[in-house]
Amino acid sequence: MQQHRELSEKQINTQLLNGALATPGWWKFAVIGLALIVLAGFATFGFMVNSGIGLTGKSRPVFWGALITTFVFWVGISHAGIMISAILRLTQAEWRRPVTRAAELLTVFSLITALTFPIIHAGRPWRIIYWIIPYDFSRGIWPNVRSPLVWDPAAIGTYLTGSILFLYVALLPDLGNLRDRTIGWRNTLYSVLSLGWRGNSRQWRLQTTAGILLSALMLPIFVSVHSIVSWDFAVTSGVEGWHSTIFAPYFVIGAVHSGVAAVVTMMALMRWLWKWDNFIRPEHFDALARLLIVVGTTWFAFTMIEILYSLYSLEAQELAFRDMQIFQWPWALLFVIFLITGFFIPVPAWFFKRVRNSIPLMFWTSISVNIGMWLERFLIIVPSLARKQPFVYTWGSYHPSLVEIMMILWSLAFVAMNMLLFARFFPLVPLFEQKESQVFSSKIKIGRASVPAVLREREQE
Amino acid sequence: MASNITAAPDHRPTFREAAAHLVAQGRTAASGARLWILLLLAVTVVGVIGVVGRIAGGFEDRTAWGYYAAVVSFLLSTAAAAPMVSIAPTLARASWVRPVTRVSQLFASVGVVTALLYIPLMFALPPLVEDGVRRRSIWFGSPPLTPHVWGSVAILGLVFIGLALLWASSIPDLRTVAETATGMRRRIARRLAMGFIGTDTQWKALRMRIGVLGAFYFVFLVFTHLVFSADFAVALVAGWKDAIFPMFHAMTSLQSGLASTIIAAFFIRKFGRLERYLELDQFWAMSKLMFATSLLWFYFFFSAFIVFWYGRTASDQAIIDTMVGGPYRWAFIATFMMSFVIPLFTLMWNPVRHSIKGPTIIASIILAGMFLDRIRIYAAAWSARGINDKFIREVPATHWPDIFDVLVIVGAVGAAALAFLLATRLVPAVSLWEIQYMRLLTRPVRFGKGHAVIIAKPD
Amino acid sequence: MVSPAQDVASHSWGMAVDIDRCIGCQACVVACQAENNLPINEEDHFHQARAFEWIRVERYWEGEFPNIKAHFIPILCQHCENAPCEPVCPVYATYHNDQGMNVQVYNRCVGTRYCANGCPYHVRFFNYWEPVWPESLRNQLNPDVTVRSRGVMEKCSFCIQRIRRGRIDARKEGRQVRDGEIQPACVQACPTNTLVFGDLNDPTSRVSKLRNDRRSYRLLNDTLRTEPNVYYLARVDTTEAEAAHG
């Protein structure tokens, strides 16, 4: 399964630094194109601040819509980094190595993007800082810590800080590498950033210890972030469709589903754009697809249990909400698309080795997962609000406005642009992980066969 | 291969040593097994008296059956979950699990006890339609006996698949037993080995069978916990709408399955003198998993708790009062300490995890915690009244066990141990072929000045 | 003369709504609109479901034409003792005051709209746009009531400005507030005495007596346990009652 390709350290350096040290021709055009969308997004936001939330499609009782959906979506994507880097590191899965950096990066940028959405969506964004940072002591009013909306920035802020640290610690050896290969201002930049990295054994030990400690510490945060986001909804007893105990693990497993799928999308793009065929190989897609089968199936089981238990109560408003979500036009269509794209196309497809090893197919199935996951959140948030409680007189509906769609596009472009900018200055595939994996990969002779093997250090008791 | 890796001496037992040692272990006369069997048999008889007494008390009073249901659930959550300890790591191709696969799969034999105990419980369960009124259940409009049927299908299926898995993965060892043992064991082993001689095809079929049965076992375990928790707990409490509960039930069972395996491995290692086979590595790896599942215990519990606590609707408050903060507070607090707090603050330290006694003691505490957990859930659920109400308007008072309940509890544990012990008489408690595989696929080496191991990852 | 602290602690404002009396005339809605500076609801606002009605009259039809009956139920903020909207607000823009009222502080509100999601009665309103009045109506705005800006939540305040005034007047005269002395705009405008406002702490007040009526119930309280301070008196269907009792 593991097709080992022995590369010299020099080859690894030149090939993996081709993004940071030599700019590919398409890079400039891609960044400019994305920057235009990002600017248009900022302009739209300015327009909305100037005119009011009336520009969105929201109403009463659907006070939350596509913007909060997108917030949840990006928080979900951010679960890629720690899933790949921390969990797979602690479980010593070798195939994680080439994708760790990209996954962590995705975490950082998607979290930053996610954090902007509650601000964009608020009625008075210019005052939102009031509830993120304890403010204005003279009035004696602190943020209300009972509110899940205060837990959110706390959890996401911790996760973001931790992810940036995690990314930085893993970047140190490569920064030292870059410092030795650059001149001028970039050399100064890398010198400062690399914190005097020389690669001696003490530094390596510290770097490894820091990585493992951060992995272990980040795990609870990783779980808590999307749990807390889910509690924004689940603790609201007034909204029948939200008040479900399964939400925390359901959201977390869904987040892992969409996050890992997003990493697959990125890996395919990286392989195509920077021609890293030697590093991002079909075997990595294969391993991720196997992981996704497990995650996706668990997520689907949770979806079904959630629906089963909400119908179980046979309460009128619960039935009305499910009726709207599953059977009423156009929500029925969205529900079908959600099921097909989130589960029924990708997961069965991954059972075939041909699909798992085909990069274009993995690319498209992973995109399909994220379409489904966005719709999942949308179908939880909106119909639940539209069918809130038995006052049929005020039941409502919702459709996103152009402004909201523009902000969704903005978020996609913003993340992509940031990734490309990062890739211009830092390697997207960690060089040292690549080299380490070559040291740790080994072979065992069994009879006449030579079987690929890995080396594991162990303490002797 | 890097140049600083050198071969290291291999002290692990060879196949011949292992076969001689392990097959001899299985003799009934060995290690005082006969005495234990007689003792456990006596305890089992006591349990049977308890069951008969319970049945004689009638099925009308649901409250009386609470502890009985808790016992069945306890067996489902410990013994039935134990085989997962071998299944999940095997599917993930972990190497450390090989010596303990058999220990965990031997727990499938306890399934027989669970299934027998389940039979009377079915009669105590109220039918879906009573006096023309249909109660809420996950089966909606199905015929009145649906929960009974599906519950039986789930539990019998689980027992059947578990035994099939145990059998399938023992076939090569049964062959060895047939070749080296004497008397009746030899005859039975030869019959069960199904003509296995170790051809390529047979090995391939064996591995596939283990994989498929393992995957099925997992699916059935989750299904059983879903059905059992839904019909024998959730549906009996009006207004208990708790979608995470089946998953909490299944997840905590994995924690207790690990704990059961660790305890069994400890005793087998001690009384069978198997120190060279069940090494520190196995306990270490299992205690790591036990630590992880202990954290998940809290996570799954809290996911439900915060929604109820913050939501504070009438049914939310009633559920918390019934199972957490009300009459069963003592059981809940004890569970919380034993299943989460104590494991957290002990297993977080590597010296505790990296030992044999440490994980074993914590595992015993976890099992006790699990037992109290099932009591707080089932004893409370079975004494709840007003099944067709919107939510329980009156939180049931604590129901204490009577003498028959105590006999059933003692007898069930005894019978489970007896079934396990009898199974070890037939197949070696450590899988010979897995040990052999491990010896083949891993090599101890020196890495620079340190120790390392090379692990082969064949397809 | 009562001390101010005693005075504050002694009130618990509440309302009784006798559905049997409601004729669905919407006078309360209009009165509220005028008293509390609500933006003008144009046709578009109704289509977008963004109309402001701190009190609304929900209308439900029963039966088929011609044997058809209309049911009306006026719904306003229930001023829950156990309000789902309160704990979720990150900035304490909505909180419970010491007179049993759920109050909204416009200046603190940042517009997360979380409270509106939490409210099971749909009685919270969001200012999607900056409210505008035609030049001719500028001078009719109530000077006692803040004009809310774009981006904040608002809802029924039990006409807190009137409560304030009533209490100040009473204190000036050195007496307790008399029952019926303070009337929110909707209560004042109701032609059929459907709405009754008063102090629930005063056992002799009309609203206290109505609360103990056997027709009395509270919206969704049985399941959600929100403990509203608005009590509804169930409708008595005379035709059904006659059919039942001969």
Render pLDDT for B312-371 as a digit per residue (tens, 0 to 9). 999 999 999 999 998 999 999 999 999 999 999 999 999 999 999 999 999 999 999 999
Which strand (E) or helix (H) includes residue A77? helix A66-77
Both tokens assigned to B350: 């590597």
Cβ distance A149 to C112 less than 8 Å, yes or no, reads yes
**In the structure, how many helices (H) and strands (E) does chain C have?**
9, 10
Q: Do C55 and C28 contact (CB within 8 A), yes or no?
A: yes
Tokens representing residue B43 in the block: 């305890």
Name residues 414-443 of chain B within 8 A of A (Cβ): 440-441, 443
CATH class for the domain made up of C4-245: alpha beta
Domain boundaries, chain B: 5-443
CA C223 to chain B, closest CA, distance in angstroms equals 5
Cross-chain Cβ contact B140/A311 below 8 Å = yes
Encoded tokens for A373: 């996951």
* Nearest CB to B447; choose among A223, A231, A455: A455
User: Which phi-psi region, left, alpha or beta, contains residue C55 (left: φ > 0; alpha: ψ -120 to 50)?
Assistant: beta
Mean pLDDT, residues B437-457 taken together: 84
Reduce the DSSP state of residue B452 to 3 states and report it: strand
Please give the Cα distance from C196 to C189 (Å, whole number). 11
Q: Which chains reach chain A with 3 or more Cβ–Cβ distances below 8 angstroms?
A: B, C
Q: Which domains does chain A have, with CATH numbers?
A: 9-454 (1.20.1630.10)
According to DSSP, the residues that pair with B445 across neighbouring strands are B7, B452
List per-residue pLDDT tens for chain C, 246 residues long. 445 445 555 789 999 999 999 999 999 999 999 999 999 998 989 998 999 999 999 998 888 888 888 889 999 999 999 999 999 998 889 999 988 899 999 988 999 999 999 999 999 999 999 998 999 888 889 999 999 999 999 999 999 999 999 999 999 999 889 998 999 999 999 999 999 999 999 999 999 999 999 999 999 998 899 999 999 999 887 777 677 665
Q: Do residues C153 and C125 lie in contact, with contact meaning Cβ atoms separated by under 8 Å?
A: yes
Among B18, B34, B99, residue whose Cα is nearest residue B422: B34
Hey, is the C-beta of B66 within 8 angstroms of any chain A C-beta?
no
Distance, in Å, from the CA atom of A97 to the CA atom of A174, rounded to the nearest integer, reads 14
Quick: pLDDT tens for A413-432. 999 999 999 998 999 888 88
In a 3-state reduction of DSSP, which class is residue A355? helix
pLDDT of residue A131: 60
Q: Copy the structure tokens of residue B174.
A: 């049964």
pLDDT of residue A435: 84
Chain B residues lying within 8 Å of C222, measured CB to CB? 314, 390
Closest residue to B454, CB basis, from A237, A310, A444: A444
pLDDT tier at B426, thresholds 50, 70, 90: confident
pLDDT tier, B178 (very low <50, low <70, confident <90, very high otherwise) = confident
All residues of chain A having their beta carbon less than 8 Å from the beta carbon of residue B458 are: 451-452
Tokens found for residue B167: 């059998």
B423 vs C103: CA distance, rounded Å:
69
Q: How far is CA B93 from CA A59, A288, B202, C207, in A?
A: 53, 15, 20, 72
Residue A401 sits at the chain C interface (C-beta within 8 Å) = no
Query: What does the pLDDT look like over B32-63, one tens digit per residue?
Result: 788 889 999 999 999 999 999 999 998 988 99
The answer to whether residue A164 scores a pLDDT higher than 50 is: yes
Each residue of B131-174: pLDDT tens digit? 888 888 888 888 888 899 999 999 999 999 999 999 999 999 99
Mean of pLDDT over chain A: 89
Judge whether residue A97 has pLDDT over 70: yes
3-class DSSP state for residue C125? strand
Q: Give the pLDDT score at C5.
A: 46
Collapsed DSSP state (helix, strand, coil) of residue B134: strand
Q: B5 — contact with chain A (CB < 8 Å)?
A: yes
Alpha-helix runs per DSSP H in A180-246 = 184-193, 201-234
d(CA A284, nearest CA chain B) in Å: 15
Residue of B nearest to C84 (CA): B311
Specify which residues C230 forms β-bridges with: C15
Q: How far is CA A167 from the centre of its chain?
A: 14
Give kind and range of the element (H or E) at residue C232: strand C230-233
Amino acid at B237: V
* C127 in A contact zone (CB under 8 Å): yes
C190 residue type, one letter: C
